[in-house]
Structure 1
């Protein structure tokens, strides 16, 4: 069961793409949120990353949620909403 889940997360979508959509970005409180919904069994899985430039270093926190939605844009919007919550709750400790 876990093997099938990981395979669906990291395999291509079968339509000639690499299994990822175009990124949607948002700036929030000094952080860059990059929503990258992934196709998963006819749905779109909520995933992406949060970045912050600290000096010359870009810190990155990547996450994939179990949430899936039928629409790519809705999954991107949900990722941005969740990322904002994480930033509000954890701030820069996201990168620890």
Structure 2
């Protein structure tokens, strides 16, 4: 038995499980992507705690880290860069370098609300 199925602007005849239609639909319908960044590494650097957590973006990883003073959760600074890297290991290493650079250049000014 066939029934007419309409999904948004795509329509098809469905016989209970049309694999071709599902495959075509997957090409045109955006799939939800996780943007949750899990902490991959933590390190203490010059009195600051750096939590390295690259963000997954379309099969790549964006540089992302949380920086705080050692022994204090607040205040903290969320470092996010536009850089996209092809794999997690490379993203972790580049995030580590960028976070250290921010600490070296800005120190406590990372937490300043005055711009």
TM-score, normalised to structure 1, is 0.73
CA RMSD of aligned residues (A): 2.0
Q: Which has the higher contact order (CA 8 A, sep 6+)?
A: 1
Does the CA contact (< 8 Å) of 1:25 and 1:33 recur in 2?
yes
The equivalent position to 1:49 in structure 2, one of 51, 66, 81, is 66
- Mark the runs of 5 or more structure 2 residues left unpaired by the alignment: 1-31
Paired position in structure 1 for 2:14: none
Count residues in correspondence: 81
Could you say if the C-alpha distance between residues 37 and 57 of structure 1 is closer, same or farther in structure 2, counting changes exceeding 3 Å?
A: closer
User: Which of 81, 95, 106 does residue 79 from structure 1 map onto?
Assistant: 95
Using the alignment, how far apart are the partners of 1:30 and 1:22 within structure 2? 19
Larger Rg over CA atoms: 2
Give 1:57 deviation, angstroms. Answer: 6.1
Q: TM-score, normalised by structure 2?
A: 0.62
Structure 1 runs of 4+ with >3 Å offset: none
